[in-house]
Amino acid sequence: MLVVLAFLADPLAQQIIQTEDCMRNSTVLTSRISRTNGYFAQGGSFGPATAVIDAPMAVAINTGIVSPPENISSLIFTECSSGNCTFPMFRTVGVCHSCEDISQNVRKSGTDIFTNYTLSDSSGNPTGLWIAHTRLFIGRVESMLVGNTIANMTYMIGPGQIGQYDIPPAAARCQLFPCVRDYKSAMQKFVLSEDLLSQERIGMNNLRPSPDSGLLVTTKIIRNGTWQTCQASSEAGSGLVQVAIANVDASPQDPPRYDGTAPTAWYPEDCVWSFGRWSTSVIGQALKKELDGISITSTGETPDGSIPARNLWLNGTGNLNTTNTFISDLADTMTATIRRRGVAGAAKYAQGQVAVNLTCVKVEWTWISALAILTVLSFIFLVLLIFQSPNGEKIWKSSTLATLHCGIDERIAQSTGADQTRDDIFQAAKATKAQLRKDSNGNEQFI
């Protein structure tokens, strides 16, 4: 049995050491992902107190309202040479949104044949939106509102079929505003996925008139993936920014009074988040141009309207959830551009860890048990052999094959007889005890 097990030792030993593909963090390669503490981009000015939107943001808005990608994270700039990277938590300026159901504010007027529905806008204007018997959807955008808001959007979604005018339309009010977003990101096989952990609104800058119409100061900041405290200072210093106390962990929306009496403090620059007033203005104007007054009207039996209107109306199936998804995709596409075109550029991008594919040696310790069992059995066999053997000189008791290699003592030959059969010889061998000794001439023989 031990001989057979010994033949198995080699393949069993080969199972102990194995190789496999594995991912390990590189100590040489680096990766990064776009983020920013401030955004001030705009396309330039053509007159006093006027500005136009820049091309990248115009493209982002058009992408968001017409055809946002299924994975909006694909729009994020990421540098990852191996295609497998992880990034610790980080914060960035972006655009956030909110949507609420205001269907209860829709009012019906008119006759059964010519039914109108009205909905007041944020200013209380009762004629802001309406649906007649030929209009099934309409949207209104208000920009440059009081407070640090990019745009307010109101939508009224009518029935999907002509003639269902007695069905009250659904209505939603959404808002886009600058904010600070917290992310955790990872890339696998060159596909980036991001988790939005939290968001915080950016308020009005209460310090003084400046390009930073939106400002937020946080007393907690993520550095190298961990939360750390932002220490305020009463005096100016390197890397510090003067801010109003009213903007610390707060998002004031009332217009500030620039009378020089606002209490201030100095905070590290990476704890200060800003959004330019001209950036807010041009984005709001662009959204108003693209989304204000969009409608779906029924011409004969075929509803007609712009692509954004169709994406919101959804053949009359639009509701608060679908509207929220539409605005969320728009905010995410704009945020991707904001992160890429921030004030400090690539110098302030978040650093990540690159994972590379290697061949690793794996030790399967459980397979050693098979060799250990074989070793223990061999040791037991050795001990039993020692104890089972007679004391004194060792003897052999086996088949007659051993005698083929040595001379046979005359007494053994006489006892066996030359004329005996093979079976007789075997029987004699079983009853015979012999020892291997040297004769007077030094030759080995069994006696």
Predicted local distance difference test score (pLDDT) of residue 414: 64
**What residue numbers bound the domain in which 276 lies?**
35-348
Same domain, 277 and 409: no
What is the 3-class SS of the chain, one letter each residue?
Answer: CHHHHHHHHHHHHHHHEEEEEEEEECCCCCEEECCCCEECCCCCCCCCCCCCCCHHHHHHHHHHHHCCCCCHHHHCCEECCCCCEEEEEEEEEEEEEEEEECHHHCEEEECCCCEEEEECCCCCCCCCEEECCCEEEEEEEEECCCCCCCEEEEEEECCCCCCCCCCCCEEEEEEEEEEEEEEEEEEECCEEEEEEEEEEECEECCCCCCCCCEEEECCEEEECCEEEECCCECCCCCCEEEEEHHHECCCCCCCCCCCCCCCEEEEEHHHEEEECHHHHHHHHHHHHHHHCCCEEEEECCEEEECHHHHHHHHHHCCCHHHHHHHHHHHHHHHHHHHHHCCCCHHHHCEEEEEEEEEEEEEECHHHHHHHHHHHHHHHHHHHHHHHHCCCCCCCECCCHHHHHHCEECHHHHHHHCCCCCHHHHHHHHHCCCECEEECCCCCEEEC
The C-alpha atoms of residue 444 and residue 397 are separated, in whole angstroms, by 17
Same domain, 263 and 409: no
Of the candidates 348, 365, 381, which is a domain's last residue? 348
Predicted local distance difference test score (pLDDT) of residue 405: 43
The C-alpha atoms of residue 214 and residue 229 are separated, in whole angstroms, by 22
Same domain, 344 and 408: no
Q: Is residue 77 part of a domain?
A: yes
Q: Is residue 22 part of a domain?
A: no
Of the candidates 314, 348, 382, which is a domain's last residue? 348
Same domain, 140 and 249: yes
Same domain, 202 and 281: yes
Predicted local distance difference test score (pLDDT) of residue 447: 73
Same domain, 277 and 403: no
Same domain, 432 and 303: no
Predicted local distance difference test score (pLDDT) of residue 397: 54
Same domain, 82 and 214: yes
Looking from the CA of 251 toward its CB, the CA atoms found within 13 Å total 16
Q: Is residue 421 part of a domain?
A: yes
Structurally, the chain folds into a number of domains equal to: 2
Q: Is residue 267 part of a domain?
A: yes
Q: Is residue 183 part of a domain?
A: yes
Q: Is residue 16 part of a domain?
A: no
Q: How far from 370 is each of 19, 185, 230, 425, CA to CA, in Å? A: 20, 45, 59, 42
Same domain, 410 and 309: no
Same domain, 161 and 296: yes
Q: Is residue 294 part of a domain?
A: yes
Q: Is residue 365 part of a domain?
A: no
Mean pLDDT of successive 10-residue segments in the chain (447 residues)?
Answer: 74 82 90 95 74 93 94 93 94 96 84 70 66 82 78 86 69 94 95 95 83 85 90 92 92 78 90 92 93 86 88 90 96 96 92 92 85 85 80 56 52 59 68 75 76
Same domain, 269 and 404: no
Same domain, 325 and 435: no
